[in-house]
Amino acid sequence: MTTSDTFPRQYARTQRLTLGEPRNITVSADGRRIFFLRSSSGSDSVNSLWMLDQEAGVEKLLVDPRTIGANLDTELPPEERARRERLREGAGGITSYTCDPNFSTVIFTLSGRLHIAQVDDQGAAGVREINLPHAVFDARQRPGHDQISYVFDNGLWLTDFAGNTQRLTPDEGESITWGMAEFAAAEEMDRQRGYWWSPDGAAIATCRADNSPLHSAWIGDPAEPQTQPREHRYPFAGTPNSIVEVFVLNPETAAITSTGLKTGPKFEYVASVQWRDVSRLVVGTLSRDQREYRLAQFENGHLTEIWSDVDAAWVELVPGSPVFTADDRLAVAADRDGRRCIINDGRIVTPASLQVRSIVTASDHGIVFSANELNEPTQLHVYLLVGDTITRLSENEGVNGVAVGGSTRVLRSTSIHSTRSTTRVIGGSELANLAEEPLLLPNVSLHTVGERGLRCALVLPANYEGGALPVLCDPYGGPHVQRVVSSHHSYLTSQWFANQGFAVVITDGRGTSGRGTEWERSIKGDVASIVLQDQVDALQELAKSTGALDLTKVGIRGWSFGGYLAALAVLRRPDVFHCGIAGAPVTDWRLYDTCYTERYLGNPADDPAPYESTSLIIDAAKLEEPLLLIHGLADDNVLPAHTLQFSNALLAHGRLHEVLPLSGVSHMTPQEVVAENLLLHELEFLRRSLSL
């Protein structure tokens, strides 16, 4: 922290106060060793690799990238840039790593250069680079061998520790990739990988993705006209997806065997791939309309269906599901009887009061999963299921996550009352959190309002003494993302705006997570009117119950879906919302991707009506209130075309508005100066537009 810090500067410099916090935690199977990443301070963006020795209770620095001669300024390989964008990764140094089962060997890359750290019994690491003539992506050690697999030039490669390499898959040109997750899988299905070693290292399961059916988008930088735009294969809603086929590869002979699992014409998505044991491979596929899901097992050249699910709206893909228990039973997370539950060997084993959010692991110690009470979606807890007995592992009220190895569980907890997260071994040591203390403290209260029990957060100025204030609505409002949670960090930016003289209102309406099956699926076919109505209702109810809101001066801001919602609000309800800030908004859902968009609106080739009824571009003539559009021109998720086409439509109808293009910025805004000044620009716009 510097003496000249302001909150916007601190928030940008510390990457939202996440730097210095333990992350990417993994635990060895015997629970003795815990590896994690952490930078040296709350303003250091370079992550190092650390180990917590459980028996000694001591943290040990294994690898500091700055002390091993690594060039941290080298250009990242394009595959790594894409991975970081999909994960919204803004840090540097070591951002991912893989281990052997004994946690004696760690593989990682720095700027595409392959490194190996070998950790001895005393926890000392010998680190060296494996010199290769090209960049490396997604490096993993071959189980039981001194060899490392990786992706380069759209193919799978294998090297020994001396750097002797061989290509394992054919070179089929730029549109065919082996061992990589295609865009839809990485962005929308939480599948970041494209290949998986069998437990004995005798085979590799790998995806071959044919991206040639995808339409091309071109991402350029208008501020650098000499730079050639890059082609970005993108699955626009209603257009073809990648064709993905799953193969099993023998690394000794380079023989490649098809499993018979190939997407299309009905099942167009490969959702998950995992080895059940050394001979059985299990693959989850999802239909184009996402109403059917099936698990198939490949063994000895034969393919057998072992599970299927059907839903009238969509089958939810739950992180960590499916898993196989210690006694080889299939456990899945699926929606039944109005909530998401765990089904073990065909039997529901979680109570009706819980909404399961993820399965963390299954072992002979039981199934560890995360869930929230349906009547309290603002909190997330970690549970252990052994037989029919469920034990809550997270004691503190708030938002909790966990990493597991054997009987060792490392719990990360945040609360609305604590300024920093805590990461501790249950029954053991706490990992040091070096993140900076925020320069402000949230003055926030959580509310349940209206007949639908909408969850809201009201953030008031730190020195609030009563009276009605101008209002800033600060929602996300869309699927999968909650903003109203029992976590201190969720309200820091909102508090900064509140301290400028606003009452900030955040509402999680229908479609957001944690409230059960019907709540999430109520937006099927309509991501506009239902979502917007919940924002209006919550605003009006809070005004009645608190007396803190001046409804004659209401602004709304948001990013991504929240940006869509902000623009939607000023277009359709100018009687309620008097100005809007729309960051990276989806303005025409035809321009967004297949997997996300068609889940909620269907395929526009079959029925365009839901797309027309939710389009901001079609509503452009309705704009009456001030609107600021912000978009990163390097955004490959919500393409800049959304804002540019919307702006053209507004101008064609004579509707005045403002556009702030961010050169070189993607869907996230990691650049310190950009992030800081963006908040200041938004504040100036709100004050000007609301005559404050």
Average confidence (pLDDT) over 173-200: 96
* pLDDT above 60 (res 1): no
* pLDDT above 70 (res 2): no
CA distance to 5, 69, 111, 324, 672, per residue, from 14 (Å)? 11, 25, 21, 40, 9
Reduced DSSP (H G I as helix, E B as strand, rest coil) percent helix, strand, coil of the chain, to 5? 20, 35, 45
For residue range 520-562, list pLDDT tens digits in order.
999 999 999 999 999 999 999 999 999 999 999 999 999 999 9
* pLDDT above 70 (res 192): yes
Considering the chain, what percentage of its residues have pLDDT values greater than 70? 98
Tell me, what amino acid is at 374? Answer: L
What are the sequence ranges of the domains in the chain? 172-317, 444-689
Read off the pLDDT band of 167 (50, 70, 90).
Answer: very high
Q: What is the pLDDT of residue 73?
A: 57
Read off the pLDDT band of 674 (50, 70, 90).
Answer: confident
Q: What is the pLDDT of residue 3?
A: 55
Read off the pLDDT band of 615 (50, 70, 90).
Answer: very high
For residue range 643-670, list pLDDT tens digits in order.
999 999 999 999 999 999 998 888 877 6
Q: What is the pLDDT of residue 124?
A: 75
CA distance to 87, 316, 414, per residue, from 244 (Å)? 21, 20, 39
For residue range 582-597, list pLDDT tens digits in order.
999 999 999 999 999 9
Average confidence (pLDDT) over 469-476: 98
* pLDDT above 90 (res 398): yes
Q: What is the pLDDT of residue 257?
A: 97
Average confidence (pLDDT) over 393-422: 95
* pLDDT above 70 (res 293): yes
For residue range 138-164, list pLDDT tens digits in order.
999 999 999 999 999 999 999 999 999
The whole-angstrom separation of Cα 331 and Cα 333 is: 7
* pLDDT above 90 (res 75): no
What length does the chain have? 692
- pTM of the predicted protein model: 0.95
For residues 417 and 621, the model is more confident at 621
Q: Which CATH class is domain 444-689?
A: alpha beta
The whole-angstrom separation of Cα 326 and Cα 364 is: 5
* pLDDT above 80 (res 456): yes
* Best CA proximity match to 270, nearest among 255, 278, 281: 281
Q: What is the mean pLDDT of the chain?
A: 94
Q: What is the pLDDT of residue 443?
A: 96
Kindly give, in sequence order, each residue whose CB lies less than 8 Å from that of residue 673, ignoring residues fewer than 6 positions away.
12
Q: What is the pLDDT of residue 90?
A: 72
Q: What is the pLDDT of residue 347?
A: 96
Read off the pLDDT band of 186 (50, 70, 90).
Answer: very high
* pLDDT above 70 (res 574): yes
With the C-alpha atoms ordered 573, 574, 575, 578, is the resulting torsion angle positive or negative?
Answer: positive
- Residues 301, 306, 312, CA angle at the centre, nearest 5°? 130
Task: Name the E strands within 288-380.
Answer: 292-299, 302-310, 323-324, 330-336, 339-344, 347-348, 354-363, 366-373
Strand-strand pairing, 204-210 and 176-180: antiparallel
With the C-alpha atoms ordered 182, 185, 190, 193, is the resulting torsion angle positive or negative?
Answer: negative
Q: What is the pLDDT of residue 74?
A: 64
For residue range 226-256, list pLDDT tens digits in order.
889 999 999 999 999 999 999 999 999 989 9
